[in-house]
Amino acid sequence: MPDQQTCLRPTAPGPRSTRHRARSLLTAAAPALGAYAAVRAVGLLVLWASASAAGKDALHLLGGRWDSVWYQRIAEDGYGRTVTLPDGTVHPDLAFFPLLPALERGLAAATPLTVQGAGIAVAWLAGLLAAWGIHAVGARLYGCRAGVVLAALWGAYPTAFVQSMAYTETLFTALAAWSLYAALRGRWIVAGTLCVLAGLTRPSAAALIAALAVSAVAVLVREWRAGERRGLVRRNARMLLGVCLAPLGWLAYVVFVAVREGSPFAYFDVQVQWGNSIDGGRALAAFILGLPFPAALGLCAALGLLGWLVFLCVRQRQPLPVLVYGIGVVVVSLIGSGYFGSRPRLMMPAFPLLLPPAVALAGLRTTLRTGVVVAASALGSAAYGAWTLLGPGPP
């Protein structure tokens, strides 16, 4: 695997430096993109073989069930559909953010793809862009080898099969990773603009918004305490502008729902209708207490592992925007009252949690040892993905 120097080649100054830098980043990321694609190919092959054995269509499993159907119907007909369940619960489509349906509609109009095929294509392309951005963040912080391993581990996440589905996770992760990379490089307006798009993709953009805001506040406080008070706002004008831009996508959709429904809190009412209100973790605790003891013990062990990873991220001294984002995604995923089975999927965009194991694996003496661990993770993820997608419930 390449080292830090080959990963981050300097670019010559000039009007074409941005294009040169993008080309350099893409060239350096080629090993990461190859590793990620190989890991996801394993997942798709295992799914295809399992679906064929069960007499099912693998593409339908990836693009024709659960949330993907809601996005496709929004792409085809716009907002306005509701479903009433047998218990009387009403599920409106306003719970789903608009960027993915807009991309599906645009791609289907411009190509021979159906809306379903367009959704899968967007997810697969976004997965590669996410792996590229994840590699860029990891390489900048801990070297190119760590960036490659980080991208591969994200592709082998237990619920990584969702990365191949017509869902929003890959699109959101791509936008978040590149926003964080821009923030690390001091490109705050770019970071804020990408956060706007993330806010049109998923409600978990709140974690990214918080990451940029907290990081900006830390910069201002540090300079203030250092006595650099004169011209503080002017000196950090681009950073402040980027932070002000960051929440506009999320806020725009909340306002859209409010105007459409005639209530300032309509978006939050929609989430309550879907059972997704914020309860501080009470639903999670009740779910654990309602499990048989062995299952509850296993789930507590998994949560303990999650807490240990968060601790390792803090001990690793990750830069503030990366650390706050990772922890923020975890918190947002755990404090809601929604369907428990979706929580591992909701945490998948928190790729900074994988930085400690990625750095550890990148430090192994031989590439073979690292490859064996990644391959084993990929096979385990593929088997779990096939089992889940062939099951009755949504991820």
pLDDT, residue 11, reads 46
pLDDT, residue 16, reads 57
pLDDT, residue 7, reads 65
Please report whether residue 14 resides in a domain.
Answer: no
Query: Side-chain half-sphere of 151: how many Cα atoms within 13 Å?
Result: 31
**pLDDT cut 90: percent of the chain above it:** 84
Our measurement of the distance from residue 366's CA atom to the centroid of its chain's CA atoms, rounded to an integer in Å, reads 30
What is the C-alpha to C-alpha distance for residues 283 and 278, in angstroms, rounded to an integer? Answer: 9
pLDDT, residue 28, reads 87
Tens-digit pLDDT profile for residues 6-33:
465 444 444 456 778 778 878 889 999 9
pLDDT, residue 86, reads 86
Out of 161-175, 193-207, 274-288, 370-384, which region has the weakest mean confidence (pLDDT)? 274-288
What is the C-alpha to C-alpha distance for residues 259 and 182, in angstroms, rounded to an integer? Answer: 33
Q: Are 101 and 71 in contact (CB under 8 A)?
A: yes
Please report whether residue 160 resides in a domain.
Answer: yes
Please report whether residue 277 resides in a domain.
Answer: yes
Please report whether residue 296 resides in a domain.
Answer: yes
pLDDT, residue 9, reads 47
pLDDT, residue 10, reads 43
What is the C-alpha to C-alpha distance for residues 376 and 232, in angstroms, rounded to an integer? Answer: 51
The range of the structural domain enclosing residue 332 comes to 29-389
Average pLDDT rounded to a whole number, residues 364-376: 93
Please report whether residue 19 resides in a domain.
Answer: no
pLDDT, residue 236, reads 96
Average pLDDT rounded to a whole number, residues 210-215: 98
Number of domains in the chain: 1
Please report whether residue 15 resides in a domain.
Answer: no
Our measurement of the distance from residue 77's CA atom to the centroid of its chain's CA atoms, rounded to an integer in Å, reads 27
Average pLDDT rounded to a whole number, residues 56-60: 95
pLDDT, residue 337, reads 83
Tens-digit pLDDT profile for residues 325-353:
999 999 999 998 877 888 999 999 999 99
Query: CA 384 → CA 120, 158, 214, 381, 393, distances in Å?
Result: 20, 7, 36, 5, 14
Average pLDDT rounded to a whole number, residues 30-48: 98
Please report whether residue 13 resides in a domain.
Answer: no
Query: CA 151 → CA 7, 45, 288, distances in Å?
Result: 14, 19, 32
pLDDT, residue 171, reads 98
pTM for this prediction: 0.95
Position 123 confidence tier, pLDDT thresholds 50, 70, 90: very high
Helix (H) or strand (E) holding 83: strand 82-84
